[in-house]
């Protein structure tokens, strides 16, 4: 039997992944009959999910129905589609900002770090995962509008000065306290990680975590995909002990604590030209030692105007955040 007759039979086989025949998929690249009556078949498929089944179908036709003594099958996946699949499955890189105690400056740090990455030319997003105390939209003083969905039903994040932002604040009526029970809060959190349509070239998503070591914080730390994490603490030793707990707990859950930021470290006294350590000293160092990570920065206390939470690039704080972002980009090849 000439090889084109064999092709006519083989091309009827259906690939269950696409529900199309090998003919429709134009999958058969070659069928040749070698001198020793071995049939040599080459197939290229969009996906190899049902490759074994297709192999069995070909073997039945060639060896049982047509009684050829030998068969060689080479099934490969289409290289272009393989690349595309890889690009679609590309996992998002997350950097979480966490703390033990509330009010230590997580959201301020998260927003400033996001700006630092943006200033260095990276595409970044922020997830405000602090379900019961959303703050990123307030920190940035941004207008709050409901979010749209894309064609696949994924949430399109808000865009603020080229930073993409997701927060519960976009899903609740304004000024109403959030009274969600834990399962709804978990569902919302899960959605932030599974169903957001980030820019296709997003480099990094910063997560503003809820404070604490309690139930909600643990829940969230379990729901957040394994991520890099920065622990924020104040210089006060008592407060730092709680930050240590948060750091060690996060490590236990598989997060990668990459460093510690000591916020509100000191006040630079313009008159005496000295640093005043108003809130104690050494907290950041202690946390870094105990969780086995670097102390990335000591950020001084400054007068923060509600409308001006993002430090200018020319300030010490602005430069420090840039340095943290730059070193992260280098280490992670971002």
Ligand X SMILES: Nc1ncnc2c1ncn2[C@@H]1O[C@H](COP(=O)(O)OP(=O)(O)OP(=O)(O)O)[C@@H](O)[C@H]1O
- Contact set with ligand X (CB under 6 A): 99, 102-108, 130, 133, 135, 211, 263-264, 299, 301-302, 304, 309
Q: Give the x/- contact pattern for Mg ion in 51-90, rule: CB under 5 A.
A: ----------------------------------------
Q: What is the dihedral of CA 182, 183, 188, 191, to 10 degrees?
A: 140
Nearest to 308 by CA among 296, 318, 298: 318
> Per CB under 5 A, does 107 bind Mg ion?
yes
Q: Give the largest CA-CA distance in the chain.
A: 98
Q: DSSP readout, 163-186?
A: EEEEEGGGGS-TTPPP---HHHHH
Of 6-14, 42-50, 130-138, 163-171: span binding Mg ion (CB under 5 A): 130-138
Comparison of 203 and 208: residue with beta carbon closer to ligand X: 208
Question: Does the protein bind Mg ion through residue 138 (CB under 5 A)?
Answer: no
CB 223 within 8 A of CB 190: yes
Stretch that binds Mg ion, among 91-99, 105-113, 292-300, 325-333 (CB under 5 A): 105-113
Write down the least CB distance from residue 106 to ligand X, Å.
4
DSSP helix/strand/coil, 28: strand
8 Å CB contact between 162 and 202: no
Compute the least distance from the CB of residue 306 to Mg ion, in Å: 14
Q: Which residue is nearest to Mg ion (CB)?
A: 107
Closest distance between ligand X and the C-beta of residue 217, in Å? 10
Is the separation of the CB atoms in 313 and 119 below 8 Å?
yes
Nearest approach in angstroms of CB 108 to ligand X is 3
Contacts of 275 (CB under 8 A, 6+ apart): 266, 267, 268, 269, 300
Give the containing element (helix H, strand E) for 70.
Answer: strand 70-77
For residue 112, state whether it binds Mg ion (rule: CB under 5 A): no
H-assigned helices in the chain: 3-10, 51-59, 79-88, 106-119, 136-139, 182-194, 215-223, 237-252, 283-291, 316-332
Q: Which of 135, 186, 195, 197: binder of Mg ion (CB under 5 A)?
A: 135
Min CB(328)–ligand X separation in Å:
20
Instruction: For residue 198, give the 3-state DSSP assignment.
Output: coil
Nearest CA to 211 out of 250, 181, 174 is that of: 250
Identify which of residues 99 and 250 has a Cβ nearer to ligand X in the complex. Answer: 99
Closer CB to ligand X, residue 58 or residue 310?
310
Listed ranges 129-137, 150-158, 177-185, 273-281: which one lies at the site for Mg ion (CB under 5 A): 129-137
Q: How far is the CB of 315 from ligand X (least distance, A)?
A: 11
CB of 107 to ligand X, least distance (A): 3
The β-bridge partners of 31 are: 41
Positions that interact with Mg ion (CB under 5 A): 106-107, 135
């Amino acid at each position: 039997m000439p090889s084109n007759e064999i092709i006519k039979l083989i091309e009827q086989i259906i690939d269950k992944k696409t529900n199309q025949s090998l003919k429709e998929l134009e999958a058969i690249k070659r069928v040749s009959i070698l001198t020793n009556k071995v049939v040599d078949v080459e197939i290229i498929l969009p996906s190899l999910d049902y490759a074994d089944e297709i192999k069995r179908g070909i073997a039945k036709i060639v060896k049982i129905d047509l009684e050829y003594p030998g068969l060689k099958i080479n099934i490969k996946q289409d290289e272009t589609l393989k690349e595309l699949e890889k690009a679609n499955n590309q996992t998002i890189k997350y950097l979480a900002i966490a703390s033990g105690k509330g009010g230590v400056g997580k959201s301020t740090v998260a927003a400033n770090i996001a700006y630092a990455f943006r200033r260095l030319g990276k595409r970044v997003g922020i997830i405000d995962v602090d379900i019961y105390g959303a703050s990123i939209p307030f920190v940035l003083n941004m207008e709050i509008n409901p979010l749209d969905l894309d064609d696949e039903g994924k949430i399109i994040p808000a865009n603020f000065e080229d930073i993409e932002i997701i927060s519960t604040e976009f899903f609740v009526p304004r000024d109403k306290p959030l009274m969600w029970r834990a399962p709804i809060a978990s569902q919302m959190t899960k959605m932030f990680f599974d169903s957001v349509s980030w820019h296709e070239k997003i480099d990094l998503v910063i997560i503003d975590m809820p404070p604490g070591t309690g139930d909600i914080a643990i829940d969230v730390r379990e729901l957040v995909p394994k991520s890099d994490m920065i622990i924020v603490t104040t210089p006060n030793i008592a407060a730092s002990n709680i930050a240590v707990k948060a750091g060690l707990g996060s490590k236990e859950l598989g997060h990668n604590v990459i460093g510690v930021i000591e916020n509100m470290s000191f006040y630079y006294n313009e008159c005496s030209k000295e640093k005043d350590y108003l809130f104690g000293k050494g907290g950041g160092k202690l946390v870094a030692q105990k969780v086995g990570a670097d102390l990335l920065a000591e950020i001084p206390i400054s007068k923060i105007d509600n409308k001006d939470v993002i430090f200018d690039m020319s300030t010490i704080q602005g430069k420090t955040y840039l340095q943290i972002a730059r070193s992260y980009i280098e280490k992670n090849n971002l």
